[in-house]
Amino acid sequence: MSEPIDTSPGYRLLLLITMAGTTMLYSLTMTMVNIILPQLQGALSASQDQISWVITLNVLATAIATPLTGSMVAIFGRRAVLIFCSTSFTIATLACGFADSLETLIFLRILQGAAGAPLVPLSQSTLLQSYPRDMHAKVNGIYGMAVVVGPAIAPSLGGYLSEVYDWRWVFFMMVPIGIFSVLGNMKFVRDAGQEKNSKFDYLGFTLFSITIVCLQLILDHGEREDWLESLYIISLITFMGIAFYMFVTNTMFAQQPYIDPRIFLNRNYVLGVILVFVYGSLNFTPLVLLPSMLQTLQGYPDLLIGWILAMRGVGMILGFFVAARMGKFDPRVGMVLGMACIGFSGWLMSLYDLNVTLSAVSWASSLQGFGCGVLWVPLAVITFSTIPHYLFPTASAFFHLLRNLGTSVFVAISITLLIRTSKISYSELMESINPYEERLSFPNVVGNGNVDWMDNLTNLVSEVSRQSSMIGYDNIFYFYALTCLIALPVLSLVTVRK
């Protein structure tokens, strides 16, 4: 397929608005539902393990269906896929609001994840195919700013709706955006990508699905099952390894494989998916760790936590704006700047203690959001700079799959690191506590306790637990910053298209 044909600026603008709205529709569900989990647990009479499947199975369905994008576009065409997926997603979202049991909600969340999975990669590939390459940086910047508004306001808005009305309104409020997305796709998206005699690789799809399901279950249950000490985890690893080996073999010999291997012949694309795996690791991890740290260790109310996450969203919007203005510069400059800001924010967070102020947390969160915004635009431009247009749907789907997997893997590693290092710190601190320890008289050590701790062991154990948990969080954020440093050399291998 040749370069995209010229279209009017007005059409392109309306297409950009439609694609941004379509992507925002999906991104809202990834953040809003996390806010209402406690309410869902009570309303549906579910345990913590049971309610976690509302998130886990949605993520699994998304991971399995994301690579389907290329095959679906080849068989049905881009327009048909976007209309079908946005319509199905909107209906599933509306139905989630009417769910009256945990089983029904989980089933609908699976449908929601599967229907919404192609929306993000296909929206991005549609824009990249509809704009000339020299405008990709500007388009990705504007698109990114529009998309990030949803997740930025979702925590506070979702919390407000669930408290004032009901958890069901978190789903109901997304329905108008879904209707807008469906109508926009019907009006402005032009058909493209359909290929004659295209066949679906059922064997590749099955093997890939087994691999992804096993990986996600290992990451979700690994720490709870004590990793390799569990026969369950060992069995999952075995099945995952066998399925992945068979999938790779099938991909090499299939006439029309599930994931087109031609995308991996492009150097910039391979480097891009490696970096987007790191980006996925760095982007969403603070959203998981910061709220739990602030709630459990410092008693921050939901309103303040929503404010901190909103500040991160403001930083991301500013980062996208700066990245869009840097479109004429070498993309590697923006990538280094973004990675440096993210790494520096991680280092700042690794210095937190139990007396950290709201302004310090907000500043580091804003800087982290800014870095993610600045990094995303040149990363997307570099990754797709030399990919042929006919491979955009498949390449974009795998690109976003690696981003989601990066989040899952890094969060699992971080939680394991938190639990293990907190236990080690707890043991080390308890060894140093005795009636003759003079350091316990210093105010910065005493914290919320007092010098009579030896007569109140409950307060003593509670304070040691808080301090050791804080050390665990600091270790995670230090690891977070170190990950940025390790990823920097990969940027030197990227080539810029002249």
Q: Do residues 293 and 381 both lie within one domain?
A: yes
Regarding whether 164 and 44 lie in a shared domain, the answer is: yes
**pLDDT at position 149:** 64
410 and 276 belong to one structural domain: yes
In the structure, what pLDDT confidence band is assigned to residue 6 with cuts at 50, 70 and 90? very low
Q: How many CB atoms within 10 Å of residue 214?
A: 21
The reported pLDDT for the residue numbered 237 is 95
Residue in 270, 253, 157 with CA at minimum distance from that of residue 203: 253
Mean predicted lDDT score pLDDT of the chain: 82
* Residue 2, pLDDT score: 39
The 10s digit of each residue's pLDDT in 150-205 is 666 666 677 677 777 888 888 888 899 899 999 999 988 887 666 666 778 889 99
- Are residues 478 and 353 part of one domain? yes
| SS3 readout for 127-196 | HHHHCCHHHHHHHHHHHHHHHHHHHHHHHHHHHHHHHHCCCHHHHHCCHHHHHHHHHHHHHHCCCCCCCC
Same domain? For 466 and 409 the reply is yes
Domain annotation covers residue 50: yes
Residue 3 pLDDT level (bands cut at 50, 70, 90): very low
Q: What percent of the chain has pLDDT over 90?
A: 21
pLDDT band at 71 (very low <50, low <70, confident <90, very high): confident
Query: Does residue 36 fall inside a structural domain?
Result: yes
pLDDT at 89: 93
Total of domains in the chain: 3
- Which pLDDT score, from 0 to 100, does residue 488 have? 86
Q: Which of 151, 176, 198 is the last residue of a domain?
A: 198
Examine the domain organization and report whether 66 and 117 are in the same domain: yes
Domain end (from 255, 290, 325):
255
Instruction: Answer whether 37's CB lies under 8 Å from 44's CB.
Output: no
Asked if pLDDT for residue 138 goes beyond 80, the answer is no
Give the residue, 370 or 4, on which the prediction is more confident. Answer: 370
- What pLDDT, on a 0 to 100 scale, did the predictor assign at position 43? 83
- Residue appearing with tokens 């065409």: 77
325, 394: one domain: yes
Going by pLDDT thresholds of 50, 70 and 90, the confidence category of residue 480 is very high
- Domain containing 426 equals 265-431+447-498
Q: Where does the pLDDT of residue 1 fall: very low under 50, low under 70, confident under 90, or very high at 90 and above?
A: very low
Would you state the pLDDT for residue 133? 77
User: Does 95 have pLDDT greater than 70?
Assistant: yes
Residue 101 has pLDDT above 70, yes or no: yes
Tell me, what CATH number does 166's domain have? 1.20.1250.20
Say yes or no: 216 and 194 in one domain. no
Q: Is residue 437 one of the residues assigned to a domain?
A: no
Query: Tens digits of per-residue pLDDT, 255-304?
Result: 888 888 889 988 889 999 999 999 988 887 887 788 778 877 877 776 67
Q: For position 5, what pLDDT does the model report?
A: 46
Say whether both 250 and 361 belong to one domain. no
Q: What is the pLDDT of residue 348?
A: 93
> Do residues 312 and 339 make contact, with C-beta atoms less than 8 angstroms apart?
no
260 belongs to a structural domain: no
Q: Is residue 1 a part of any domain in this protein?
A: no
Q: Is residue 442 part of a domain?
A: no
Report yes or no on 2 lying in a domain.
no
Residues 188 and 205 in one domain: no
Q: Return the higher-pLDDT residue of 450 and 337.
A: 337
Instruction: For residues 292 and 427, state if they share a domain.
Output: yes
Inform me whether the pLDDT recorded for 223 exceeds 90. no
Whether the pLDDT of residue 8 is over 80: the answer is no
pLDDT, tens only, 384-421 = 888 887 888 888 888 888 888 888 888 888 888 888 89
With respect to residue 498, please indicate whether it lies within any of the assigned structural domains: yes
Residues 368 and 243 placed together within one structural domain of the fold: no
Q: What is the pLDDT of residue 170?
A: 84
pTM score above 0.85: no
- Domain-terminating residue out of 198, 214, 235: 198
Q: What is the pLDDT of residues 420-444, one digit of tens each?
A: 899 898 888 887 776 666 666 665 5
